[in-house]
Chain A
Amino acid sequence: MHAEIFDRFHEADSLLHRLDPRVKVVIAVLFILSNALLPDGAWAAFGLAWLVLLWANMLSRLGLDFTFRRSFVALPFALAAVSAIFSPLGHPLAEWTLGALKLIPTDYGVIKFISILLRSWLSVQVAILLVAVTRFPDMIHAFEHLRVPGILTTIVAFLYRYLFVLTDEVMRLLRARQSRSAASPGQRSGRSVLWRAKVTGGMAGQLFLRSYERSDRIYNAMLARGYTGQLRTLNPHILRASDWRIGALAIGILLLLQIIGRF
């Protein structure tokens, strides 16, 4: 089993870990929504949102820079927003020629670009924190309570459970390929790209069949253990007064951020 690859939960005893998963999911989504609603260039509000995040990091007892260290996953996508710098609205700041392309960065464009990056950076961090302080089965349970259709939560639950098993399967396939692909020093192993793609496709087909046939056995085993179409959990998930209080506090802070961002 390779649980360490996929499990993003970090054990600790903290306020955030004990918070009801529903409240955590709602706060995280509202935080992302709040970032999307903040107007471009609302630097004070963005800064405060970051301070709130740092505070949440502190409350989680995972370390102040916990989410910061992991927050660069969305960075490659920033490339897509670079062209916003050259938005024709606003005043030109400079003029660059790049071959046949004439690039004119504007003040409006630069503000827009930085705002997009900040929004994405803050949103990614709250998502990182959410999965670090919530066990995944609890999170699925929270989505069930939040009226996500049962068939989807069940599929996701199975996906998560069997991901580990199939990952082992993938590793076996990769190991088998590697052990049959010897290469002399200085020479590449394998033939053309097409041939390599075909080998990989064969592995994908093999993986498909192994999973397909395994699902039959799994279902029979589940029926034998009393499966009725419903996944159960031992955690009762009852909203306590403290959960409500923290939820209300978070919503208040987010409203305050919106007011600061707009005036």
Chain B
Amino acid sequence: MLYSPASMHIPDGFLSLVIALIFWAITAATVALAISKTNKSLGEKQVPLMGIMAAFIFAAQMLNFPVAGGTSGHFLGGALAAIVLGPWAAILVMTSVIAVQGLLFQDGGLLVMGANIFNMGLLTAIIGFGLYRSVASRSKGVRLTVAGVAAWLSTVTAALVASLQLWLSGTSQLQIVLPAMLGVHVLIGLGEAAITVAALAFIEQTRPDLLNEKAVMDKGGRGWVFGGVLVSLLAVLFSPLASTSPDGLNRVAKNMGFLQLGHSAPFKLLANYAIPFLGKTPVSTIVSGAVGVLVVLGWMFVLGRILRRKAE
């Protein structure tokens, strides 16, 4: 089977109508902006190019590599597309890929497609391009390292936001879905990072003109760096906090009226809920989260070094 569904495409029925429509509105507005931006900056020639790049992302998802125990690493491609094509073009490309996956393969629903595009197209573009652009003038090792971190973080952030959407829809309990989704995608993200870094290293080696400093700077302004860093920081600080104290989050969401959005009544938390495999205090988890990020950073740095040495 060449086409294997990814674990992050939310099917129809799993999000409440209000949440689905809110995310459709955000996505539609952003995609409209991306269309006007690309119409201004790109020639007519770029449209076929974007179509073929969309086919590339789709086809690249068929390349899997065995990891362990029958599971295999699987590629989303959002961060890679944003780095190589620029953020606006990447948003259009990922929108088309997710639309075809939903329509043709029923991998992700139609009514919830706005949320799926938001998670896997918009967030990955902001994080992928924003972080990469911030180091565009640095050495190759730094750039590849940051690209790997961005690819990892975009996968994790997409999973984080997907679990928040499921929670706000009343489909899942936050204290169960959040650690589960994050736990799985922290690992899946490693594969994403490895493939993204290796692909970029290969492209740098064979077509350096596509990834030189000027080419990257031209594709999006400084605002992307700001947005990318902001979203990344939010995701890094928010995930451990939300995993350890879902009560607080529930209370905030209830006070602000978010939970009524999902057509279930507000949640009341069970007293005895404890998540055994996570730490007790938020502080300790933020520390461990930071340590985790450092480990990934270090790992990506080593990988970048190895690849660079191979390239030379």
Contacts and interface: CB of A to CB of B under 8 A. Distances in A.
A198 B32 CA distance: 36
A104 B106 CA distance: 33
A119 to B, nearest CB: 3
A80 B105 contact: no
B63 A204 contact: yes
Given A155-B47, A200-B64, A201-B194, A167 B267 contact: no
B95 A152 contact: yes
B270 A194 contact: no
Contact of B63 (A88, A118, A207): A207
A229 B47 CA distance: 8
Contacts of A151: 35, 38-39, 47, 92
A89 interface: yes
Given A170-B63, A204-B75, A152 B191 contact: no
A88 B11 contact: no
Nearest to A131: B104
Contacts of B31: 149, 152
Contacts of A167: 2, 59, 62
A211 B107 CA distance: 24
A83 B176 contact: yes
Given A77-B14, A166-B59, A201 B199 contact: yes
Contacts of A154: 47, 51
B3 interface: yes
A128 B92 contact: no
B207 interface: yes
A207 B56 contact: yes
Contacts of A203: 63
B60 A204 contact: yes
Given A155-B50, A218-B48, A89 B11 contact: no
B13 A200 contact: no
A116 B171 contact: yes
A44 interface: no
A195 B147 CA distance: 18
B229 interface: no
B173 A87 contact: yes
Given A204-B198, A209-B206, A89 B268 contact: yes
A8 B92 CA distance: 24
A131 B272 CA distance: 47
Contact of B172 (A81, A99, A117): A81
Contacts of B206: 205, 209
B265 A155 contact: no
A207 to B, nearest CB: 6
Contacts of A193: 65, 67-68
A91 interface: no
B303 A194 contact: yes
Nearest to B205: A205
B32 A197 contact: no
Contacts of A121: 13
Given A32-B109, A73-B5, A204 B195 contact: yes
Interface string B95-131: 1110110111111011100000000000000000000
21 contacts: A33-B17, A80-B171, A81-B166, A84-B172, A120-B14, A127-B109, A131-B103, A136-B104, A158-B50, A158-B52, A161-B51, A165-B55, A167-B59, A174-B63, A197-B198, A200-B194, A209-B202, A212-B49, A212-B56, A219-B49, A229-B47
Interface of B: 2-3, 5, 7, 9-14, 16-17, 20, 31-32, 35, 38-39, 44-45, 47-56, 58-60, 62-68, 73, 75, 80, 84, 92-93, 95-97, 99-100, 102-107, 109-111, 166, 170-173, 176-177, 181, 191, 194-203, 206-207, 210, 263-265, 267-270, 272-274, 276, 303, 307
